[in-house]
Structure 1
Amino acid sequence: MSEPQLKALASRDNAFVKRLHALAHSARDRRKLDETVLDGAHLVESALAAGVALRALVVSESGLLREEHRRLLAAAPAEVPRYRLGDALFAHVSPVDSPAGLLATIAMPASTPSAPGDASLIVVDGVQDPGNLGSLLRTAAAAGIRHALLGEGCAQAWSPRALRAGMGAQFVVRIEEGCELLARLESYPGLCLATALREDAHPLYELDLRGPVAWLFGAEGQGLSPALLARADGCVIIPMTAGIESLNVAAAAAVCLFEQARQLRATGTIRGVNFPS
């Protein structure tokens, strides 16, 4: 395989460099330009494996020394433009403080209504930190969840920070952003469970979670909106050591989702509390 051709760029005034900087640092520009940035070899490789079309590949001078980066530059379709930037210029366009040396741009995936049917899913209400959102999506993907509904107040799931925290989860989980969450849950056939510190909450490990569950997760601090909390069929608490009040949303999701995954693998041996329908 011949070495891919790299176009060298050296100025911050270059139109493509300006576009990259905007995509990396501005949610408004990402929406306006309908593109986002993948940072690092893992995300680029995940996108290629998922069949996502790359619009451009960008490598730094030092990044070009890494065999992994050269392999990905060669593996991408021939029609994808490839650019080489000096390390200082690459750091200028990078969305992170410690650049990995490889970037790619992709079209912003469309947010279309998903149809989870009777599958389990996560419902995310007001999680504004992109790192927490990405971690939550990564946890869901690892636990076998393939659908996520994100309310209006959530961070952008395809922002560079959320993508970096997700580590490829966005290419596995079907994400619907800007949802009217109550409307989307109106016909859901399974349980809607919320993690909340309430007197009527059930300890997680006493529940039968082998059926479909819509897990409702809210922002740290504020929690779920009152309307969404009222929609829940029941509330769940995670038993913890005395003196510890709560977990962050990604950690709480990990405990809940993997307890459900454990029960689903237990071949029907677990029976616990059943919420009334």
Structure 2
Amino acid sequence: MKAITSRDNPNVKRLHALATSSRERRSSGLTLLDGAHLVQAALDAGWLLREVVVSAQGLERPEIRGIVERCGALPVLQLTDPLFAHVSPVDTPSGILAVIDIPPSPMPKGLRDSLLVLDGVQDAGNLGTILRTAAAAGLKEVLLTPGCAQAWSPRVLRAGMGGHFCLRIHEHVQVAEVLRGYPGQILATGLGAGARPLYECDLRGPVAWLFGAEGQGLSAEVAALASGLVVIPMPGAVESLNVGAAAAICLFEQVRQQGAGGRT
């Protein structure tokens, strides 16, 4: 374990850049996992960690000490508490970070199972929550259009709570090309002509679910791909749902109809 006490240390500068700069993450191909739960989830999924970073105070916690011990010969940096706060991607430092490679994102081909398409979802919390929901619902493929937030940013990873490690996440996807010939339904939510209540739709087969940005919804290009439009019944006095809530309702209605078992 290497102790670091100076902000001028190259490792501190590198970690700070990974925490704050999407450009640095893209150029280096690296990102940060923040928090014991997320680092533990990566280890449980067999994800390769490049190094672990702990704060002096964090190392006093049995949970974090256990993770460090589990990492064996993996490089571990110990930072003073102020330095750790400086490199932390969140306002409340967790006491442990890990550096990982951002996985490659090849163009998906031959998609036949249910999947999720996110178009221009820019809020990190929403994106991470939706990815976690998709993993919980048993999906494997998620397609992100160029307007989405960076899926492997520390804040999206933190909101995803390990869901990333169960998914194949494809970024900067030209959705029209990828979904050409898709054998299932392609469904979007909305109030347009012909929209059917969600709970009256047959969702037992494969569905490509389309969800758009928080404000403007789906782009015209992606909306045009939908073979059907569904509406979530809302008897309350609100206009619409958060995109994360809408995605969860739709995905788990499909889980219900397919009779999928498992933990709640």
After TM superposition, the score normalised by the length of structure 2 is 0.96
Question: CA separation in 2, counterparts of 1:265 and 1:58?
Answer: 43
Q: Give yes or no for contact 2:53–2:79 (8 Å, CA) kept in 1.
A: yes
Q: CA 1:180 to 1:48, structure 2 compared with 1: closer, same or farther past 3 Å?
A: same
Question: CA separation in 2, counterparts of 1:108 and 1:12?
Answer: 26
Q: How does 1:1-277 map to 2 (within 5 A)?
A: 6-78=1-73, 80-115=74-109, 117-265=111-259
- Provide the identity percentage: 60
Which residue number in structure 2 is paired with residue 3 of structure 1? none
Q: In the alignment, residue 41 of structure 1 is paired with which amino acid?
A: A
Residues 11-68 of structure 1: CA deviation (Å, up to 9, x unaligned): 1110011000000011001011110000001111111112211111011111011111
Question: CA separation in 2, counterparts of 1:89 and 1:197?
Answer: 50
Q: Give yes or no for contact 1:192–1:232 (8 Å, CA) kept in 2.
A: yes
Question: CA separation in 1, counterparts of 2:175 and 2:225?
Answer: 10
Q: CA 1:185 to 1:15, structure 2 compared with 1: closer, same or farther past 3 Å?
A: same
Q: CA 1:200 to 1:38, structure 2 compared with 1: closer, same or farther past 3 Å?
A: same
| Residue 266 of structure 1: how far off its partner (Å) | 7.4
- Contiguous gaps of at least 5 residues in structure 1: 1-5, 268-277
Question: CA separation in 1, counterparts of 2:125 and 2:214?
Answer: 13
Q: In the alignment, residue 223 of structure 1 is paired with which amino acid?
A: G
Which shifted more, 194-203 or 16-25?
194-203
Q: Which runs of 4+ in 1 moved over 6 A?
A: none
- Contiguous gaps of at least 5 residues in structure 2: none
Task: Provide the alpha-carbon RMSD of the alignment.
Answer: 1.3
Q: In the alignment, residue 87 of structure 1 is paired with which amino acid?
A: D
| Residue 116 of structure 1: how far off its partner (Å) | 6.1
